[in-house]
């Protein structure tokens, strides 16, 4: 098969219909993006499961693809952008993951529960007198942003600008001008922020990373700290915010399942997993590049640095793995879903994201028993990586 399929705008509004059509032709396809670039998409569960841990697929474009390295100049090719945990392979990835993972252990995440609860309650207090709100802007984004900024020690007065830049960068899509402008703003802020933290350390991850660079055998260098903070901002903000927004949107679109959850709160833990499977925040992983030829799904992908996109959203609705995959079932056996990755590529912040969504969803449903969708534009954000709503208008109480 030598098909090259064109990715059109309908994909961003409803990728699942697109995946269903493509899946009938096979689990692996060549696709021409809006930019004209031809890449490979992996849609099957088995293919994505293998690819997530396949050493022939590199996350580091500078090593796997010399042509990319030659083109990576200017603000977009700044070391802060190009070299961090999400764009590193072993052994660097193992070392960097060990540094980051300390803050996201089960014990560490559990210790954040009181703070998450306080932020959730405070945000709900702010909207409790309103009849209608946009939950994306008034609840999901502020919750995810507050917790992430707390962890990194970002001053209150700077949070709005920083989180705005992160949102713009994550959802820039193919807008190269926006990518360059926003990256330059973030890099400039990081320089000032780290200089401040170096002089006035606190009880936060940024200060901890800077302190580690001063040890006799530092696990990270001082040059790697900006990339670490940059990566956590990109990976930790919109993923959680989008997961929460998508979860509420999905439940409102399935009133029978929402009623079942209200009637039996013990379903919540499994509901979180099913909501992640059904409409998680990750559409694709970060792009991989081939180091050598890779045979998947009856296709051979060339080993010359070819870009490969792993669709977790498509894998999680593969009928070969999940019966009736397009049906939301909060009692479903969700084991094996790939919403948070797999193995050494498993999302470090998965437990924290789950806890935030669990506490936020429980409090929201408890506080507003008449919660319902409101008329108004939703609008899925463009771009391949995230499945994210611009807005989620809801009615908080029956009239």
CB 81 within 8 A of CB 230: yes
Q: Is the torsion defined by CA of 53, 54, 55, 57 positive or negative? A: negative
pLDDT at 59 over 70: yes
Statement: 4-395 belongs to CATH 1.10.630.10: yes
Position 76 scores a pLDDT of 45
* Pairing mode, strands 307-310 and 38-42: parallel
Radius of gyration for the alpha carbons in the chain, expressed in angstroms and rounded: 21
**Which residue in this structure is represented by tokens 């713009």?**
168
* Residue 155, SS3 per DSSP: coil
pLDDT at 49 over 90: yes
Say how far apart CA 365 and CA 268 lie, in whole Å: 11
pLDDT band at 2 (very low <50, low <70, confident <90, very high): very low
CB 284 within 8 A of CB 384: yes
pLDDT tens profile 80-126: 555 677 888 888 888 888 888 888 888 889 999 999 999 999 999 99
Least confident span in 39-53, 57-71, 206-220: 57-71
Position 135 scores a pLDDT of 96
pLDDT band at 216 (very low <50, low <70, confident <90, very high): low
Position 13 scores a pLDDT of 82
Least confident span in 74-83, 216-225, 316-325: 74-83
pLDDT at 75 over 60: no
Position 1 scores a pLDDT of 42
- Could you tell me which of 74, 79, 237 has the C-alpha nearest to residue 166? 237
- Ranges of each domain in the chain: 4-395
pLDDT at 181 over 80: yes
- Could you tell me which of 250, 226, 79, 245 has the C-alpha nearest to residue 167? 245
Cis upstream peptide for 194 (omega within 30°)? no
pLDDT at 68 over 90: no
**Which residue in this structure is represented by tokens 């903000």?**
237
Angle at 138 between CA 133 and CA 143, to 5 degrees: 145
The predicted model gives 222-229 an average pLDDT of 87
pLDDT at 213 over 70: yes
Position with higher pLDDT, 174 vs 68: 174
* Residue 172, SS3 per DSSP: coil
* Number of neighbours of residue 312 by Cβ within 10 angstroms: 26
Mean pLDDT, all residues of the chain: 89
Question: With left for phi above 0 and alpha for psi between -120 and 50, is residue 141 left, alpha or beta?
Answer: alpha
pLDDT at 172 over 80: no
Position 4 scores a pLDDT of 66
pLDDT at 300 over 50: yes
Position 88 scores a pLDDT of 81
The predicted model gives 135-156 an average pLDDT of 96
Say how far apart CA 114 and CA 324 lie, in whole Å: 38
Position 127 scores a pLDDT of 95
Question: With left for phi above 0 and alpha for psi between -120 and 50, is residue 150 left, alpha or beta?
Answer: alpha
């Amino acid at each position: 098969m030598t098909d090259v399929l064109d990715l059109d705008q309908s994909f961003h509004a409803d990728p699942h219909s697109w995946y269903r059509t493509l899946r009938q032709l096979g689990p692996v396809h060549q696709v021409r993006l809006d930019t004209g670039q031809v890449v490979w998409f992996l849609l099957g569960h088995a293919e994505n499961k293998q690819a997530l841990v396949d050493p022939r697929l590199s996350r580091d474009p500078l090593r796997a693809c010399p042509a990319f390295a030659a083109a990576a100049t200017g603000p977009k090719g700044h070391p802060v952008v190009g070299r961090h945990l999400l764009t590193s392979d072993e052994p660097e990835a193992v070392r960097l993951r060990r540094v980051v993972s300390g803050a996201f252990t089960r014990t560490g995440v559990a210790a954040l529960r009181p703070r998450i609860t306080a932020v959730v309650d405070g945000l709900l207090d702010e909207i409790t007198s309103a009849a209608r709100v946009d939950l994306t802007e008034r609840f999901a984004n502020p919750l995810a942003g507050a917790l992430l900024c707390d962890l990194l020690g970002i001053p209150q007065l700077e949070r709005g600008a920083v989180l705005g830049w992160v949102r713009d960068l994550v959802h820039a899509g193919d807008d190269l001008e926006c990518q360059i402008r926003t990256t330059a703003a973030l890099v400039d802020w990081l320089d000032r922020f780290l200089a401040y933290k170096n002089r006035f350390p606190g009880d936060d991850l940024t200060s901890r990373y800077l302190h580690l660079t001063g040890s006799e055998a530092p696990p990270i260098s001082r040059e790697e700290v900006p990339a670490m903070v940059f990566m956590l901002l990109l990976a930790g903000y919109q993923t959680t915010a989008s997961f929460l927004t998508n979860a509420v949107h999905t439940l409102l679109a399935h009133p029978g399942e929402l009623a079942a959850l209200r009637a039996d709160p013990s379903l919540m833990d499994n509901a979180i997993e099913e909501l992640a499977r059904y409409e998680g925040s990750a559409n694709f992983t970060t792009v991989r590049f081939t180091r050598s030829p890779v045979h998947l799904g009856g296709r051979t992908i060339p080993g010359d640095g070819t870009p490969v996109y792993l669709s977790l959203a498509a894998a999680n609705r593969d009928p070969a793995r999940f019966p009736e995959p397009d049906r939301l079932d909060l009692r479903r056996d969700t084991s094996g879903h790939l919403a948070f990755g797999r193995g050494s590529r498993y999302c470090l912040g998965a437990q924290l994201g789950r806890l935030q969504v669990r506490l936020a969803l429980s409090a929201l449903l408890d506080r507003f028993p008449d919660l319902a969708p409101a008329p108004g534009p939703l609008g899925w954000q463009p771009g391949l990586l995230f499945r994210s709503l611009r807005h989620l208008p809801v009615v908080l109480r029956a009239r």
